[in-house]
């Protein structure tokens, strides 16, 4: 199966939040399909851990030119997925379509994934002691359907498909917006951001000057995790160096001792 990605067009979005509603509905329906709970309980129970999309509204500018923008907090399904790399039990994997998924049956709730994620996405559920996040609707995608958020969008502000096709469409839209508004629009995540996360499988069309307002980090990383990795690498190097040094010192001591014995300067036990 070819890799698929999703795009959010901030210019075409009308903030109707249909994507968020459909996301929650789909996750509740998934529980029904998998026999985890019945229809009544899945509809009536409050289950915030099933809301994989959440709005973050920010006001930018100064009156009378102030405006509000709504950023969506969500999983970016990173190319290098730090959460997957740090998971001690292998509970996180990348599907054939590129979706980064947590297997709740294997997850031990250590919350390492949340520590490693520079976008602060994986959350811990006190209800079941597991980590959770967007699964990219991989079950829908692998059966020829669109993701629930994409399916609900009335303005095609969210669209998905094969990576090259989505990126081409996103770049065309960004170029059109740049031409029409005179402001530079970019496709965030289409190119590698850094070595820590690589490219993103959720890309965003946004005005370059509003990247921060939309909380789109151009250098996503987690310093503590990087230092841990450096320590692991450095520790291994130091361990090897210590072994080599100790061995070299032993060889030097042994050679010196042999010379002393040969010269009749050995210790008491050797001379008697």
pLDDT value at 24 more than 70:
yes
Of 42-51, 202-211, 224-233, the least confident: 224-233
pLDDT computed for residue 268 by the predictor:
44
**CA–CA distance, 56 with 59 (Å, rounded to integer):** 10
Q: What is the pTM of this model?
A: 0.79
3-state secondary structure at position 207: strand
pLDDT value at 48 more than 50:
yes
Decide: 103 and 131 in contact? Cβ < 8 Å.
no
**CA–CA distance, 233 with 250 (Å, rounded to integer):** 26
The residues near 66 (Cβ < 8 Å, ≥ 6 apart) are 59, 60
């Amino acid at each position: 199966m070819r890799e698929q990605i999703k795009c959010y067009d901030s210019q075409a979005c009308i903030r109707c939040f249909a994507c968020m509603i459909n996301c929650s509905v789909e996750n509740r329906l998934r529980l029904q399909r998998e026999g985890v709970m019945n229809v009544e309980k899945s509809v009536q129970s409050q289950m915030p851990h099933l809301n994989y999309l959440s709005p973050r509204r920010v006001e930018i500018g100064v009156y009378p030119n102030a405006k509000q923008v709504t950023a969506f907090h969500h999983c970016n399904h990173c190319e290098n997925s730090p959460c997957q790399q740090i998971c001690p039990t292998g509970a996180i994997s990348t599907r054939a379509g590129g979706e980064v998924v947590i297997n709740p049956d294997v997850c031990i709730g250590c919350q390492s994934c949340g520590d490693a994620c520079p976008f602060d996405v994986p959350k811990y559920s006190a209800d079941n002691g597991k980590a959770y996040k967007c699964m990219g609707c991989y079950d829908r995608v692998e059966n020829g359907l669109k993701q629930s958020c994409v399916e609900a969008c009335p303005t095609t502000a969210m669209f998905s498909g094969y990576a090259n096709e989505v990126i081409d469409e996103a770049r065309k839209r960004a170029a059109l917006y740049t031409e029409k508004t005179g402001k530079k629009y970019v496709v965030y995540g289409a190119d590698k951001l850094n070595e820590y996360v690589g490219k993103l499988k959720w890309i965003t069309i946004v005005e370059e000057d509003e990247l921060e307002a939309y909380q789109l980090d151009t250098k996503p990383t987690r310093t503590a995790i990087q230092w841990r990795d450096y320590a692991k690498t450095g520790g291994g190097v130091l361990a090897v160096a210590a072994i080599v040094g100790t061995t070299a010192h032993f060889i030097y001591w042994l050679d010196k001792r042999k010379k002393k014995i040969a010269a009749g300067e050995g210790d008491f036990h050797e001379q008697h």
